[in-house]
Structure 1
Amino acid sequence: MSTSDIFLGEIVGTAVLILLGGGVCAAVTFRHSKAFNAGWTAIALGWGMAVLTGAYIAAGVSGAHLNPAVTVGLAVQGGTEWSDVPAYVLAQMIGAMLGASLVWVAYYGQFLAHLTGREATGGPGAQETAVADRTAQGPATPGPGPVLGIFSTAPEIRNTWQNLATEVVATVVLVLAILTQGLNQEGEGLGPLGVLITALVVVGIGLSLGGPTGYAINPARDLGPRLVHALLPLPNKGGSDWSYAWVPVAGPLLGGALAGGLYTLAFA
């Protein structure tokens, strides 16, 4: 597999993954969206379909890693050359940033309406609306701005070691499922059936383990869009929560490496 194949497949596949995954988060978040308040099940299913679509697009070109944790897991397991890891990770980051930017384009009017409305600007009625929102949704999580959840993840309870452990465990499940059930004949990426299995596993992880942290399970999925959030000219967007940003990077990378090692010890 050439470096150009890796770049093309991973950029396009990851961009589609983030466009559809971030898109479902936007659809559920914005009041001026037909899917407003559709709930966590819609988000978990949306991310599963995002993985399905992005991975099917990229599988025949790059093996559809779409995730540095998957790339690291495959490198530890031996299916991917360590020399190819930088190309995979760079392409995944570029694709993730491109996909997040396309979410902004697709929901441009909704972003403006949400961030310039009275809830964000403190206009008449803002206090009453904020109280109503807190009553309906529970205490606000410190750190993230009002639309950061469309781009990246944040924990419901900020406990660093629990948050890190959740991301590690969830990523081990994902990468171990790929290594045992999802690889193509060359063993260097996802095969056609593996794409479907992986998408269903992502839905399962979202429903079962996504509650504490929002299940990044993918460093590029979280860091790339978080950078886009920081760079986009969004009014009243708030902070990008950089104090937490290392957790959804370190946790999945550690989980991917652990899954690769576990597979080599127990299944190879």
Structure 2
Amino acid sequence: MLIYEYMPNKSLDYFLFDSIRGVFLDWSKRFSIIEGIAQGFLYLHKFSRTRVVHRDLNASNVLLDENMNSKISDFGMARIFSINDLEANTSRIVGTRGYMPPEYAMEGIFSTKSNVYSFGVLVLEIISGRRNNSFYNDDRAISLVGYAWELWKEGAGLQLMVPALADSCTNKDKLLRCVQVGLLCVEDSAANRPTMSDVLSGLTNESSPLPAPTKLAFSTDRHAVISSIVEKEPQILSVNDVTISDCDGR
């Protein structure tokens, strides 16, 4: 049983995706929230007595106290790893669509790098004020991750910033660094994603160079047939609404 202190400012999504309440989150508050989440996961991954993989990080599972300090919540789907465990496999996929890394959504493989991926998506959402699944183009869904990647390749990463931050964000290099860290966290290969130690260092040590993001874990034309259980989402059995049955003798 987990007992939380009272969080008067509810959850991050209450402010982040609302055009009116979002103005209360200036750039300093947003960066503080990003840094606080990173510190929380660094503790869960490295300094906790047992390593914890959350498996459902999203904006609604980040609570805000009276000073807008972020607290990771909802550990109902978390898994405890021993110090020597690197990854695990499950046939029951749980979590929130849009925050799952491809190796987990498609193969059931999860690790601390799964949290890193979810964190990267959340960083891009905090900067842009938009949900990962809120982008559509020519009847084909494009995620926020894909949109951010296109802007980054064009050297237009600042365009990802929600307009409400124009006055409060005086250090544009710091914001671009956060975008770069977010993109590094959503690399397609889990091995290429940074650890949370590297993430926190990349966010706070502005003098240290960051690697360039390469292959991101998104595709506008890749569809997966996943037989799984996803929280608050319908089960997807076929992308073509066709059921294929195998007949075996009895």
| Common fold by TM > 0.5 | no
Specify which structure has the higher proportion of helix.
1
Select the structure with the greater relative contact order (CA < 8 A; seq sep ≥ 6): 1
TM-score (norm 1): 0.26
Specify which structure has the higher proportion of strand.
2
